[in-house]
Each structure stands twice: as structure tokens, then as C-alpha cells.
Amino acid sequence: MMDPVQYERYSRQILFAPLGEEGQKRLLESRAVLVGCGALGTVLAGLLVRAGVGRLRLVDRDFVEFSNLQRQTLYEEADARDSLPKAVAAERRLRAANAGVEIEGLVADLTPENAAELLGGFPVILDGSDNFETRMLVNDYAVSAGVPWIYAAAVGSYGVTFTVRPGQTACLACLVESPEGGNGAASGCLAREETCDTAGVLNAAAGVVGALEAAEAMKLLSGHPEALSGRLISCDVWTSRFQSVQVAREPGCRACGRRDFRWLEGEAQPQVTMCGRDSVQIHERRRRLDLEELAQRLSAVAGGVRTNGFLLRFTVPPCEVTVFPDGRAVFKGTRDAAVARSLYARYIGA
Ligand SMILES: [Zn+2]
């Protein structure tokens, strides 16, 4: 039951007929888990908490930096000065926005080992992550558990989102792992190599996509799956082009077809080992790197980028990074696997 304060607080949502009082009550009783609290995640979490979801768990492995403030709407300068974990800063800001929502910020790196513990028990999983590796892990977990999840990404002026409902829609593996075929057009627009740390990102692109993702989440959480878009939506806020395309399930899809969950089983994840006193090594076994191309991409965003044909070296605080053509990288200057994994995802891509 809603009390009079809640009626007043959510009155503009209750007045929206497709949602109404019933939809608002369901929202208040709903719960969701958000993976990643960067640009998309902060927009999404802010909207859902204000809309009155009952419970929101946030999982994020990073700290607030000054370069985040341009687009990550829950953070302030003091958070960056204090290098506060994003999960901690976001939880504070969201509590201040709506004390009626149960908010749980977890400083954690989502891995195959902890995926069930962090994501289990939530009827919807929301993507606020910034890298391919995490999204494939979320996809494998969600498809294996039969839980809907909302994929979203933004880079440059461009963003894309798609709601995955296992058994009913395509999954992320259908989109990005299919050969040139039915979904070729869709997968072509999901640039896997570019990241916000190399290609930049406009806050408006993240804002639009985060808002679309919030709307899809509200449909699921308020019991209106019939209103879900069912399509891959993309937009470019610089050219003002918006598109939505139908994406088909791939009958032979590795994840939702053959139920091969290699990201969840850890087989496709980069292996992380400690080497030396203050270095972490990441082995990425699935992909060879073009060092010249990578050097070109990094030259604008990292220091001391140089390659000798056998390896590429660059610096990005706190690490000096050495990258090998077989996808292996050594991060000198840290003993923290999560820092190395984060830098790998941001600068080398996945
Ligand atoms: Zn699939």
C-alpha cells in the first residue's frame, strides 16, 4: 500500500495512464541490480531511484576521477579529490535523492566466480559497464539463469541499447558473435575496440541511452513487458540520427542456442597473474592485437606511447603498460588485479 506522501511524491508517474497506481505499486516493490556506475550507470540509477524502484544494488570496481565528472552525473569534485569508490559515492547521492529506496553500493569487480552471488535473486540486470568482457559475462549469467537484462553502451556521440529476454529475444551473443548474417548490420554498429578512454564520449549520448535504458527497466519492473521495444535502438546525438532495427535470434547461438556459457565458466576471461613485486599480467587469449593500430589510438590519451615491432609500451597512472601482439599485457606499478583489468578494458579494449 502507498501512503499519502508516496502518492504525492510519485503523482506525476501515477497520472501517466499506462503506469498508473498499479504500476507504481509494482515499482515500489521491485528490485534490480546495476553492473557499472559510470556515465550510463549514474544516469540510469538516478532515474530509477527517483522513479521509486524498491531496491537497487550497484556493483562497480572503479574510483571517481576528475575525467568522470563531465558525464557521470552522481559524482562531485570532492569525490574525485578523495578518490572515492564510485559505488560508495553513488550510494550516498542516491540516498539523498530518495530515502525510500533501499540502495546497496558494492565495490566489486564482477567475475565468473562472484557473478551468481552479486547478480542472483534480482529479476532484472542492468548494464552500466564500460567493457565487452563484463557484458558477455552478464549475458552468459542472465541467459543461463533466464533473467532479463538490458544491454547499453555509449561512445563518442553514439549509443545503443537492447533488452535481452532469454528465450524470447536475441541475446548479446546472437548480436556480436554471429557471422555475417542476419544480425551483421546490428553487430557492425557495436564497435568493440573503441572505448570512452580512447574515442571520448559526449555526456548527451550517455544521457539519451541511459534514459532509454531506464524506460525499458521501468516497463519490466512495473509489469509491462508488452511495452518493451523489442528492437536494437541506436542514436547519434551529433548527427541526430536515431535508428531501431529488429534483431533475430541466431538458432545456433553459442549462449542462448547451444547453452555454452564460456564467459561464465571463466574460459573466455583473460587470465590474471601476478608477476614480480609490483606487476600484474593479463593474458587475453582470444585475440591478436595490431600494435601499430593500437599505438595510433593510444597516442592521444596515454603518455610515452612507443612500439618496437615486438611490443608496445605506454604509461597511464599508476602504471607503465607493456602490450604484446598475442593480447598479453603487463601492468607495472600495481599489485591490484582489478586495477589492471580496468586499465586493460579501458585502454586496450576487449
Ligand atoms: Zn543468443
pLDDT along the chain (350 residues), means of 10: 94 97 98 97 98 97 89 96 90 98 92 93 95 91 98 95 97 82 46 70 97 98 95 96 94 96 80 73 74 91 86 90 84 89 85
57 bridge partner residues = 33, 104
DSSP state of 248: P
d(CA 70, CA 230): 31
- Coil, helix or strand at residue 261: coil
CA of 283 to the centre of ligand 1 (A): 26
pLDDT of residue 189: 45
pTM of the model: 0.81
Grid cell, residue 327, equals: 593480447
Residue 199 neighbours by CB distance under 10 Å? 16
Question: 180: Cβ–Cβ under 8 A, 6 or more apart, which residues?
Answer: none
Q: How far is the CA of 233 from the centre of ligand 1 (A)?
A: 17
Query: How far apart are the C-alpha atoms of 243 and 203, rounded to whole Å?
Result: 19
What is the Å distance from ligand 1's center to 177 Cα?
9
Rounded Cα distance between 15 and 306, Å, is 59
Contact 182, 267 (CB under 8 A): no
Helix axes 39-51, 86-97, angle to 10 degrees: 30
**Angle at 155 (CA atoms; ends 150, 159), nearest 5 degrees:** 45
CB 245 within 8 A of CB 185: yes
Distance 254 CA to ligand 1 centre (A): 6
- Ligand 1 centre distance from Cα of residue 35 (Å): 20
- Active site residues per annotation: 196
Dist. CA 294 → ligand 1 center (Å): 30
| pLDDT at residue number 132 | 84
Distance 257 CA to ligand 1 centre (A): 6
- How close is the Cα of 253 to the center of ligand 1, in Å? 5
Q: Report CA(249)–ligand 1 centroid distance (Å).
A: 6
> What is the grid cell recorded at 308?
618496437
